[in-house]
Structure formats: C-alpha cells, structure tokens
Amino acid sequence: MNKCVAVVGGGKSAVDLATLAGMYARSCYMIFRRSHWFVPYTLLNGYLPVEYTFSRLFTAIYDPFPYAPHSTLFYLFHRIFSFIIDKIYDNMSASIIATFKADLYEDKIFLPKGSIQYSENFVRIPEEFIKLIQEGRIIRKLASIDEIIDETTIRLNSGELLQADMIVCATGFIEQFPFLSDALSRALGQNTTASISNEGIDLDLYRRTIPVGIPNIAFIGLPAVANQWLFFEVQSHWTSDYFLGRIKLPDTEKEMYEEIKTIRNFIRKQFNRMSYHFQYYWLEPIEIYLKDMGLELHRTNNWISEYFGVYRPERIKTLHAERQAKAEGRTSSIWNRHWYFGFGHTVLLFILVLFIWFLF
C-alpha cells in the first residue's frame, strides 16, 4: 500500500506494527506517549543474550517478593553481590544508548529517563526496525493525539499537525468483567464490573488467581509479568490442583485477605501500579505456586546452572507428571534429578580439597 500510516501506542505491538507499516507504506509515524527502552537481541556489545535477564541470578537484585520461598543463596546474592548486578544493568543501559544513539537517542526525545533495571516496559527490536528508521520510513513522535481534524489531518498535543491516511491504535487494553454479577463483583472487592481507571480493575484474588469464598471461579493470565507464558503455565497447573482439592488454603479467609493486601501494597510501593502488574517479578510467584503444589523448586541438578542459566520452559515441562506422581504418593519417574548439588556442597567440597592439600 502506498499510504502514510500513524501507529499510536507503546510496547512491542506498536513497534511490530510500525515495522510492518514501514515496510509496505510510503511512511509511518510512530507516536509514543512516553519513551521506552528499545532492547536488541544481545546486550553488552553482543556478549550477553537478552534472555539471560530471565535467570534466577538476575532476580536476586530485586527486593524480596512477599511469601516467596527465597533461599539462603538468594539473600547472599541480594545482600552482598547485588551491586555487581546493578553495575551490569547500568552498563546495559549505557551500551544500548551507545549502540543506538544515532538512530534512536541522538535527539534525546526517546531517551529513557532511568536505568533499564527499573524500566516499566521495554521493547525488543525487529531486525528491520532500525533500517527503516535510517531510511526515513519510520518517523518517531513523542506525543499523543489531541484531535483528528479531518480525514487525513491529526493534531498532536504538541500542536504539530500530521498527515496520515490511516491510524492504527496499539494502545493496549483495559480489563473489564461485564459477565460478573453485581454480587460477584462486590465479593471481588469492586463496586462495578467496568473499569474507571486507565489500568483496569484490580480484583481481590488469593495468589492472584482465586476469589475468597467463591470455590468455582479462577482467573488465569491476569497478572502482568515479564516472563508471562512461563508464569501462566505454572499458574494453570496450580489452578488445576486447586480444583482437584490438592492445594492447602490458609485456615481462615482473614489470612487470605492479608495475603492479597500484602501483595497489593508491595506492588504499589514498588511500581505505583495496581497489584496485577508484577513487572519483573516472575520467578518468585512461580515458586510460590510450586511450593503450594509441593513440587521441587530447583529445576536443574546443580546451583550453577540453576542460578546462572536461563530459566527456559524445559524446566517446567514435567509438572503434570510430577503432580500426578505426588497425588499417587510415589516419586515421579519423569522428575529424576537424583541429587541437587547445592551451594553448601560446593563450600564443603572446597574445604575438603583444602584439608587434603594441607594434609598431604
């Protein structure tokens, strides 16, 4: 198509749509309300694949998540070595800016305000994205649409006028639950089933999944997390165990509401957002679910791969077999990590080697 397209919004969907429009249209305006980190597929000059941010080690720099079964090694990394990870994140930020300065950040309009470590959102860049910017096919604007004046004229809140044949909105969505009755809505902590904010409805859900005192409803996929598909997979297994009567709930509803309140206050303090925006907290909630189901938290056979390796979907592919084996009172033949070589074993081995060296 030989048209000028305006793509409005932020996040990955807007970048993908802008890339697609830039490839086939005459030109594309990309209109963002706020700047985002544009992340390449490798970081630190190509030495670190971005997937390594999804490792247990990188979760150790953040404040401990309430109710998560944090290990001693987690607190060791968090309290003693977190400054190293902070330095890595700072270097990531500087490296990204240096790499894309000429194409993304030279005008300083799209320059993110803080480190990528505390970013609310970041965008993975398609291969064609930078090339289309260099060719002038994607024109970036940091603004919002103030008014659509006529069939082709857009006025931004900056006062600038743009000419576009088509407007594509990639502005996300607001959660609403019109199928809930008024009684259920009130039970879930809401006076309405329709959102009255820009962030949607924040429901009272224990473990961000089930309402208190309503045994036949569960919500899967509501929390917004960085590693979402992995999170939703484990959440689905937890929900299955819950409906099968295998999950031990707190003794009183008061305790369940206290958990909801604690998580909500923690998230709002961290991100100033509603409690289903977990942001970069993904592993901790996963391990809460695993602990509730009585399943193994360590998903490899040694602490080095467990902490320094990427937490890939292969680590949870045996969850169904593990749950079935536990329900039948037997050891899973699928989950057979035999012996976990922990950090404590490494320390003991080091002491043993030193003892032998001094002895002989």
Lowest mean pLDDT segment, chosen from 15-19, 66-70, 86-90, 293-297: 86-90
- Tell me the C-alpha distance between 10 and 7, whole Å: 9
pLDDT grade, residue 253 (50/70/90)? very high
The residues with which 138 forms a beta bridge, in sequence order, are 28
In angstroms, the Cα distances linking 270 to 102, 120, 169, 274 are: 33, 11, 29, 10
Q: Which long-range contacts (CB under 8 A, 24 or more apart) does 314-319 make?
A: 316/230, 316/233, 316/234, 319/233, 319/234, 319/237, 319/295
pLDDT grade, residue 234 (50/70/90)? very high
User: What does the domain layout of the chain look like in residue ranges?
Assistant: 4-50+95-170, 174-284, 295-360
pLDDT digits 0-9 by tens, 267-279 = 888 877 777 888 8
pLDDT higher than threshold 60 for residue 113: yes
CB atoms within 10 A of CB 4: 18
DSSP, res 302 = B
Looking at the domain 4-50+95-170, which fold is it? Answer: FAD/NAD(P)-binding domain (3.50.50)
- Tell me the C-alpha distance between 200 and 182, whole Å: 17
Q: What is the pTM of this model?
A: 0.77
As to burial, measured by CB atoms within 10 angstroms (0-12 exposed, 13-18 middle, 19+ buried), residue 224 is: middle
Q: What are the φ/ψ torsions at residue 139 (nearest 5 degrees)?
A: -115, 120
Query: E strand or H helix at 46, and its extent?
Result: none
pLDDT digits 0-9 by tens, 39-53 = 777 766 667 777 777
- Tell me the C-alpha distance between 243 and 215, whole Å: 8
From the list 144, 178, 176, the residue with the least C-alpha distance to 162 is: 144
